[in-house]
Structure 1
Amino acid sequence: MTIIDHGARKKGGKNAKTESKPTRLLSPSHFYQGNVKYKMQKMWRTRLPFILFALKGALASGLSWEIAFRLLGKEAAALAPVSAIIIVQITSWQTTRKSIERILGVLIGASLSILVTHFVGINFWTIVFLIVLANSIGLVVQKRGQYLATQIPISALLAIIMGTNVLGYPMLRLLGAVIGGGMGVLVSVLLSPPVYVNRARESVAELSSEIARALPGLADAVAGRLNEQESKDVYTGIRAIEQNVRATESALSLGFDDTRFNPWGKRALRTLTDYPEMLLSLNRIVRQLRRIAFTINEPTPSWQAVSQKQHWIQEYSQLILNIGTILALTADHMLTLSNSQMAGKNKDIPINIQRAEDMLKLLEVTQRQLQESEAKMIRFSETNKMQAVYNDESENIREGYRLSIQGSIYTDLRRILNELYDVLTALPIPSTAEEATTQSGK
């Protein structure tokens, strides 16, 4: 579904003429984002990881205390739930890694403490020597894990100090780390649905949608319909999107972590295979858009003066709107596909296939329009060279300056379309076999 928005906007002051506004192609995302059911599902998916994290920590602590109490007694049982609550993380892989680091850190630190106290005893110089030695070992192994590096001196110090008051404290601390770590890993593995995989996919879709929402403003700025401050605001907004790219990269990395050491993550991992390439292309698109926004804010005289009576301005403005439409449709495609897979429904497969075909067709049209604009630019450049002999030199320099700016924006648009093609080819599209299965099921 594509909606065409026609409009007009006044350029200049009160007495300025009203010029036609480029056709705006709006994707269903403008309406999909307002869907109440979608908002409720998104709110639930946003809160589910926090609920699971709290539940995993509580269960791991309770089970650790119960097992340690039965094995070691009430007084020694406190160390196990402490270890459990410390090592439980948001993903199974992070929990497993931190559990291993804690157990190794306690083992190394307690061993150092036992050796030092056995051969030297406890005094001021013993404690200094022990901490220096433990920190040195921590520096050596910190590349293997930062938490491991910090646990070695802490465990060594606690073992040497508490060992004077509590008989067998180093061994109790080690058993507590093993019991708490084991229960934390077990609970984390059993209660780790791949929720961060879906959040990673949604983050990439939301980034695509955010870029699409910024493009109408950039199109207006290129067409010269914005004043100087509004054009600067467009540039600032695109710079902000660049920061969101970093956040999306973190979300995608967390999504991959969520599939490691997770019995529920094998199938989910297949849905993330092409997303790193898509995110890389989106990142490059944002950088090219920032270059365009910088170009229209840089020239002296103002952009309005440079773009005056330039036919290519409106053409490039429309191309930017088309790019925004494709990105919005891409976001819709990823969101609907993610929701359909989560719900186990195939009814949206024909819609997604049709949307993918529409995006490719619109991209082909946009590429063809850019090629036509390139041909016009080349012809105009040749004509400008022929007339340079008869024209005033300052006039020729002004036209040459405009041509250089046009060429710069053209290069950015061409690169954007190339990256957009990479996004569409990497986009997960349901197979025709799945569509046939859906049709036969009806």
Structure 2
Amino acid sequence: MVVRTAIAAALSWWIATALLHSDAATLAPVGAILGAHTTPFATARKSLQRAAGIGFGFLLGVAAAASLGVNTITMLLTVLIGMYAGRLLRLGPQMHQIALTAVLVMGTAQHFGYGATRLEDNVVGVLIGTLIGLLLPAPGFTRRGGEELARLTRQISDLLTDVSGHLAAGDWAACSGQWVNRARGLSKRVESVRKAVRDAEDAIRFRPRAGRARPRINRLAEATQCLDHVGHQVRGITRGLYNLTFREGRPPALHWDQHDSHLLPEPASAPPGLDRVLADLATLLGQLADVHTLEDAPDPNLLLQLRTLLGAAETSFLRTALDQSPAYADWRVLCTAGILEDARKMIHELDPDSGPHRGAFHA
């Protein structure tokens, strides 16, 4: 991206000075620099927004100066109209360009000449920046998206491993609050992974060989959606365990009296066997993290391993559910048991054959 921006700025300057003999040639590289973005498609979109803002601002500034003159009232009205027009045109980060260009045009002695020069040089920068962005190869956005997704998957797996270990040791109550915070933080990071996948989608637009990368990007997008759901369910499990450490499933009020012993939290036990369920799910997520870094769809042997791990998690889950009550083996009744219901949902989300995110596992 840095190399593309530097080349676009230098080439824009040369065209503005050597070919167009512009009086404000520095505006051309400014347009190229401000228009440069991470992907060629984003560069084109941002550059076109900037060019549209400058064009409308030029017309607004000339019209205001020619009809009403330059004074306090016209300046206020011009900025007001320009900013509102930027919102109506959905110029995004370039929303201010209409008002900014109009003010600069109104502040010069020769309104039309300056406006035309500003528009011309910015269009040069926009075109060159977009062209360079399309010609030079983009960075490995698809690879980065897969790595970001794999990293977050492993971190969720590590959290479940930690929870499982403490549940097995019986010292989980003191750690439950930290698990809730970790789960919340990991769940928020899904948005950064989703942005990396969107960048990968933008990077292949207008590319002649984009079709080769499309299947992998589709898998990453579906896998990100799957991990988003899993993250919410992990938050539900950790929050449920935290609630078990308090009377009636919630912390006492902030104003509770230290001498009211009946308000103090009482020790509670986690569902027997939950440590085994979470350990199996952690192993499954750890294996799934490696899938996200593959260029092609997972081969049948790897999918067989995932199915085997999923079967182990289902077996552990049924044993835990049946230990509570035979009725808990029916998922309709299990909806009332929040922790086990979230574990059941995770198993369903990660099923490569009958789950809702089969596109994350298959081509």
For the criterion TM > 0.5, the same-fold answer is: yes
Do the aligned partners of residues 132 and 407 (structure 1) sit closer, same or farther apart at CA in structure 2, a change above 3 Å counting?
closer
Query: 1:92, 1:189 within 8 Å by CA — same for their partners in 2?
Result: yes
Deviation at 1:148, TM superposition (A): 4.1
**Normalized against structure 1, the TM-score is what?**
0.69
Is the aligned partner of 1:191 residue 2:136? yes
CA contact (8 A) 2:53 2:91 kept: no
Aligned to 1:306: 269
**Partner in structure 2 of residue 426 of structure 1:** 359
- 1:228-272: per-residue Cα shift (whole Å, max 9, x none)? 332322232222211222222222222222233344544222211
**Matched residue SS, 1:75:** coil
| Paired position in structure 2 for 1:55 | 3
Aligned residues, how many?
338
Higher alpha-carbon deviation: 75-84 or 165-174 = 165-174
> Does the 8 A contact of 1:224 with 1:304 survive in 2?
no
Q: Once the 2 structures are TM-superposed, how far is the Cα of residue 139 of structure 1 from its aligned partner? A: 3.5
Detail structure 1 runs of 4+ shifted over 6 Å in the superposition: 403-406
1:76 aligns with 2:21: no
Letter in 1 for 2:229: R
| Partner in structure 2 of residue 235 of structure 1 | 180
- Separation (CA, whole Å) in 1 of partners of 2:94 and 2:144: 29
Percent of aligned positions that are identical: 24
- Taking the aligned partners of 2:189 and 2:33, their CA distance within structure 1 comes to 31
The answer to whether the Cα contact below 8 Å between 1:91 and 1:192 also exists between their aligned partners in 2 is no
Alignment of 1:313-328 (within 5 A): 313=272, 315-328=273-286
CA distance in 2, matches of 1:227, 1:235: 12
Q: Distance in 2 between matches of 1:192 and 1:183?
A: 15
Distance across 2 between alignment mates of 1:303 and 1:55:
62
Matched with 1:206 is 151
Which of 26, 33, 38 matches 1:85? Answer: 33
- Which of 93, 99, 105 matches 1:153? 99
Contact 1:105-1:152 at 8 Å conserved across structures = yes
Deviation per CA, 1:299-340: give whole Å up to 9, x if none. 347786535xxxx62x321121111111101111222x14xx
For 1:417 and 1:220, how far apart are their aligned partners in 2? 19
In structure 1, the partner of 2:251 is none
* Alignment partner of 1:132 is 2:65: no
Alignment of 1:240-389 (within 5 A): 240-263=185-208, 265-299=210-244, 300=246, 305-307=268-270, 313=272, 315-335=273-293, 337-338=294-295, 352-379=299-326
Specify whether residues 72 and 363 from structure 1 end up closer, same or farther in structure 2 by C-alpha distance, changes over 3 A only.
same
CA–CA separation in structure 2 for the residues paired with 1:333 and 1:171: 54
> Given the superposition, is the C-alpha separation of residues 263 and 161 from structure 1 closer, same or farther in structure 2, using an over 3 Å criterion?
farther
* 1:22 aligned residue: none
Residues 194 and 259 in structure 1, CA contact (< 8 A), matched pair in contact too: no
1:119 aligns with 2:67: yes
The one-character-per-residue Cα deviations of 1:131-171 (angstroms, maximum 9, x if unpaired) are: 33323323422xx2224421111111111213x06871111
What's the secondary structure of 1:271's corresponding residue? helix
| Alpha-carbon distance change, 354 to 380 in structure 1, aligned in 2, over 3 angstroms | closer
How does 1:11-22 map onto structure 2 within 5 Å?
none
What CA distance in whole angstroms lies between the structure 2 residues aligned with 1:374 and 1:358?
24
CA contact (8 A) 1:215 1:321 kept: yes
Unaligned segments of structure 1, at least 5 residues: 1-52, 342-348, 382-402, 431-442
Counterpart for residue 219 of structure 1 = 164
Structure 2 residue aligned with 1:410, among 340, 344, 347? Answer: 340
Structure of higher CA gyration radius: 1
Amino acid at match of 2:158: R
- What do the CA deviations read for 1:50-104 (whole angstroms, capped 9, x no partner)? xxx1111110011111111123326332221111111111111111111111211
